Every structure is written in structure tokens, then in C-alpha cells.
Amino acid sequence: MSDMQQIRQVLEGALLVAGKPLSLDQLLHLFADAEQRPGREELKAVLEDIETDCAGHGYELKRVASGFRFQAREELAPWLTRLWEEKPARYSRALLETLAIIAYRQPITRGDIEEIRGVAVSSNIMRTLLEREWVRVVGHRDVPGKPALYATTRLFLDYFNLQKLGDLPPLNEIRDLTEINPELEFEGVDLPPEREPSEDVDSLEEVEADDESELSTIGEEADEALAGDDDSALQ
């Protein structure tokens, strides 16, 4: 067996049993012998070969925020969901709107979210997002009451198959929240009538113009923060 074949087998085995994405550093640490340890570029080349060879199969090698993982192809979801007797969680429009606003306007307070949506954000929604670890508290705004500032996490990016916040689609492409991710099992819950936004309150539509220009900068800053907080955990 050649060295490259062995490296490939080690990577494939690790990705199959890990149960979570593995970063390049974690994959490099699998090779304890410094003399036999491949370089980063060599490792990337092997991963690219594995990704190419997955073409035509029911699974793929996917790179997300936390690293690489094997996963079933998304288009197979209608068949694969029949493997589980328990129905997947269903999320309301209110929850998805709240999550979308946090993703595009982070860091953001609960009060800001309520201004944009025009309705109150229930405690259950915020609790669900925090428990799923899709969002987290990243600080507090320096105003009376010190409201918490919320931002998305790497788990959020991993769940939606994203490497970084800059990969989020433009707002005008996600007007229909049912298309954010078919695996969300969207539950069409009617919301109370939204109030007409005043001149100093942004609606989701008004957010588009300024947010799309700012998204790249926001994404880079948030991605850097995520990298700084999470890299130590990945070591």
C-alpha cells in the first residue's frame, strides 16, 4: 500500500466514525509520526480526490464551517427520512424569521428583532435557538438594561451546509422561508398582522438594500470571531 493510499484510508475512516465535521488540523493530528505526517496541501489534495470520487454516489464529502464530513446528498431526503419513525422537528415561520434576522443583522438584540418584525419575539423561540446552539449571546449592548446581543454559531453554519456567513444567499432569494432548507419541515403558522413600519423601523424588505452591501463585512467579522472562539475547541 502506498503512502497516499494509506493517508486516504485513514481520512475516510476518520470521517466515517467521527460523527461530526473534522478540521484540517484534527485530520493532521491523526498522523502521530511527524515523518509520515502529510503536509496541509497534500492533505487537501487527498480530500479533493475523495470529493471527486463521491460523484455519482448517494453520499458526498462536504466542507462546512467546522471542517469536513461525509453526508447523504440533500436531494435524497424524501427517501431517507423514512428511516426514522420519529418525525423531524417542525419550525414556525416566526422562528425562521427570527433566525434569518439574527443571521443577517448580527450582532442584534431581541428588541431590534421585534422592531424589524413588528411583533414580539416569544421566549420559547429564543430558548429553542439557544438550545439548538444555532445562536449564542456574544455580548451586551452598552445601553440601559444591557440587552444581550445575539449572533449565529458554527453549528448553525454546519446545519445549513455553509462554510462562512458570506455563503448565505442574498435576502431577495429567501423571501419564501419554506425554501431556506427543505429539511426544516416548515410549519405554516399564521402570524398576527404585521404593523406598517415607521420611517425609523426597518422591514425585512428594507433590510435588503443596506444589508446585502454590509453582509460581506459582517460575515468576515463574525467568521473571525467564530474562528477565534472555536479553534481552541477544535484542537
Specify the higher pLDDT residue, 92 or 218: 92
For residues 136 and 130, is the Cβ–Cβ distance under 8 A? yes
Residue 164's Cβ-count burial label (10 Å; 0-12, 13-18, 19+) is middle
Q: How far is it, in rounded angstroms, from Cα 160 to Cα 141? A: 28
Q: Is 43 left (phi over 0), alpha (psi -120 to 50) or beta?
A: alpha
User: What are phi and psi for residue 87, nearest 5 degrees?
Assistant: -70, 140
Q: What value does the mean pLDDT take over residues 217-231?
A: 48
Q: What is the mean pLDDT of residues 172-191?
A: 46
Task: Please tell me the predicted confidence (pLDDT) of residue 174.
Answer: 59
| pLDDT recorded at residue 212 | 41
Q: Which residues of 75-89 are buried (b: 16+ CB within 10 A; e: fewer)?
A: eeeeeeeeeeeeeee
The segment with the largest mean pLDDT, out of 15-24, 169-178, 205-214, is 15-24
- The whole-angstrom separation of Cα 191 and Cα 121 is 11
What is the percent of the chain with per-residue pLDDT over 90, rounded to a whole number? Answer: 51
Same fold? 3-81, 91-234? yes
In the CATH scheme, what is the code of domain 3-81? 1.10.10.10
Q: Is 31's pLDDT higher than 80?
A: yes
Domain boundaries, the chain: 3-81, 91-234
pLDDT digits (tens, 9 = 90+) for 46-88: 999 999 999 999 999 999 999 999 999 989 988 988 887 766 6
For 105, counting Cβ atoms within 10 Å of its Cβ (0-12 exposed, 13-18 middle, 19+ buried), the class is buried
Residue with cell 445601553: 143
Terminal-residue alpha carbon distance, the chain: 29
Contacts of residue 119, Cβ cutoff 8 Å, sequence gap at least 6 = 94, 191, 192, 194, 195
Q: With 0-12 CB in 10 A as exposed, 13-18 as middle and 19+ as buried, what is 141?
A: middle
pTM, full prediction: 0.64
CATH architecture of 91-234: Orthogonal Bundle (1.10)
